[in-house]
Amino acid sequence: MKYKSTRGSKEFKSAAQAIIQGIAQDKGLFVPESMPALSIPLDELKGKTYKEIAFEVIYSYFTDYLEEEVRHCVDGAYDEKFEASDIVPLVKAGDAYFLELYHGKTAAFKDMALSILPYLMTTAMNKEKEDKKIVILTATSGDTGKAALEGFADVPNTEIIVFYPNEGVSQVQERQMITQEGKNTHVFAIRGNFDDAQTGVKKIFNDSEFADELAKQGCKLSSANSINIGRLIPQVAYYVYSYGKLMDNGTIQSGDRINIVVPTGNFGNILAAYYAKQMGIPVGKLICASNENKVLTDFINTGTYDVKREFYLTNSPSMDILISSNLERLLYHLSGNNGAEISALMDSLDINKEYKVSDKIRDGLKEFWAGFANMEETDSAIGKMYAENGYLMDTHTAVAYKVYEDYKASTGDETVTIIASTASAYKFADSVAASIGLSTEEDGFENVRALYKETGVKIPKGLKGLETKEIRHKGVLDKEDMKAAVKNSLKACTK
């Protein structure tokens, strides 16, 4: 299978080439030229382990990888670094099933893909005989940064540089990043929001002169954000796996439809659910849940994407995003693979800060249902779920649950529903503690301890003792200085 750009260039790449390159030369994102069908019948998903499902999904998309190469990547990624023996527990609480994606080393769903991306990347480098050092350049709204740092720390022939919004992530998220060990890790806070960080990273990727300069130093840029197809495809696996788990416990029979709710910022996680549906998983509605930065809700409901609006800092900071990069991939698929049309839409977004899609794309958006929850509704959802069911949600999962409740009230749809639970409640202990009625302290780590004392919910290993770790990354810079920061970080970069 080959990969091509969403913006219509004639550039075709193998999976390995697309993973190394990260973003297409015409600034588009790589997508598969066709969607593979599930490699095994639906009823055979029953009883499969996570590793078995992950192998089937990834091998279906990355066909230039040998079978033994994919098995090596899967086996290396999904091992004892995950605290849950089944990797991704599916837990019934209230009237939904929560797909707990946060049992990896950094306690967030990003571990699911970023545990395997370094294996996919190094395998790709060997396959392509890549002799340059790969520089992973990533913007994060909180969770991607730490998961990428953890995955690539001290991986041979790589450097990783992460930018995050100063004062735009939780205290726990920030401390996870700035204490990161590894000789090849570099972390910077920027004075701005996530969109500023993401825009800055894209500008660096699209700077051909800078790319030539780095090449002379023996370096080549790539990404760990979900703009990299090697980040996106592994996420498809857990939606396929969840269908098998629902059959395992007798909730559904083979062929029954399910709904999927995803708290959504950069649109990668819900796009992975869309890909699972295209592969053959019977999905009714894909429910897109936003916080007060509801640009996606408005877009799905109107067909107009407009970022000329107020930006809110919320208690679900990983969703504090106005420019959702992965939406471009969905638009491409819904347009009938019309790269010229998508290029024009993205140009309009750059120039006019908005675009309006065609009737054909709007018709395709009917597969989705969109809603949002404000901070008060998010807090209420956490408190209500814990009081009534003893189940502790983080703020992002709570946004998804509140939107799911709105969806049911609006439609009366009682279809079995999976909610992507994207982070441990302890990563947002301040908000969660307050939501269940605890008095909170200024020090977020005191709130972690108080939350544990009250609930008994296990604190993830990666968060224990975090406040006492040495701070290794102290850089805070203006968004205009991001390229200079990359240059300075790579001064010692050689072939």
Encode pLDDT of 454-484 as tens digits.
999 999 999 998 999 999 999 999 999 999 9
Instruction: Flag whether 283 is in a domain.
Output: yes
The Cα–Cα gap between 137 and 164 comes to 12
- Which residues neighbour 10 within 8 Å (Cβ) at sequence distance 6 or greater? none
Encode pLDDT of 231-287 as tens digits.
999 999 999 999 999 999 999 999 999 999 999 999 999 999 999 999 999 999 999
Percent of the chain residues topping a pLDDT of 90: 93
Burial class (CB in 10 A: 0-12, 13-18, 19+), 337: middle
* Contact status, residue 53 vs residue 240, Cβ threshold 8 Å: yes
Q: How many domains does the chain have?
A: 1
Burial class (CB in 10 A: 0-12, 13-18, 19+), 305: buried
Q: What is the pLDDT of residue 226?
A: 86
Instruction: Flag whether 484 is in a domain.
Output: no
pLDDT band at residue 370 using 50, 70 and 90 as cut-offs? very high
Q: What is the pLDDT of residue 495?
A: 43
The Cα–Cα gap between 444 and 222 comes to 34
Helix axes 50-61, 67-77, angle to 10 degrees: 140
Domain that holds residue 263: 90-106+230-461
Encode pLDDT of 387-418 as tens digits.
999 999 999 999 999 999 999 999 999 999 99
Instruction: Flag whether 219 is in a domain.
Output: no
pLDDT band at residue 492 using 50, 70 and 90 as cut-offs? low
Helix, strand, or coil (residue 437): coil
CA-wise closest residue to 62 among 310, 237, 239, 259 = 237
Instruction: Flag whether 138 is in a domain.
Output: no
Q: What is the pLDDT of residue 72?
A: 97
Provide the mean pLDDT of the chain: 95
Tokens of 334: 């819904």
* Contact status, residue 483 vs residue 195, Cβ threshold 8 Å: no
CATH number of the domain at 367, please: 3.40.50.1100
Helix, strand, or coil (residue 197): helix
* Residue range 307-312: mean pLDDT, rounded: 96
Instruction: Flag whether 264 is in a domain.
Output: yes
Encode pLDDT of 97-156 as tens digits.
999 999 999 999 999 999 999 999 999 999 999 999 999 999 998 889 999 999 999 999
pLDDT band at residue 11 using 50, 70 and 90 as cut-offs? confident
Instruction: Flag whether 240 is in a domain.
Output: yes
Instruction: Flag whether 82 is in a domain.
Output: no
Instruction: Flag whether 314 is in a domain.
Output: yes
Tokens of 204: 């660096």
Asked if the model's pLDDT at residue 493 lies above 70, the reply is: no
CA-wise closest residue to 399 among 291, 298, 307, 255 = 291
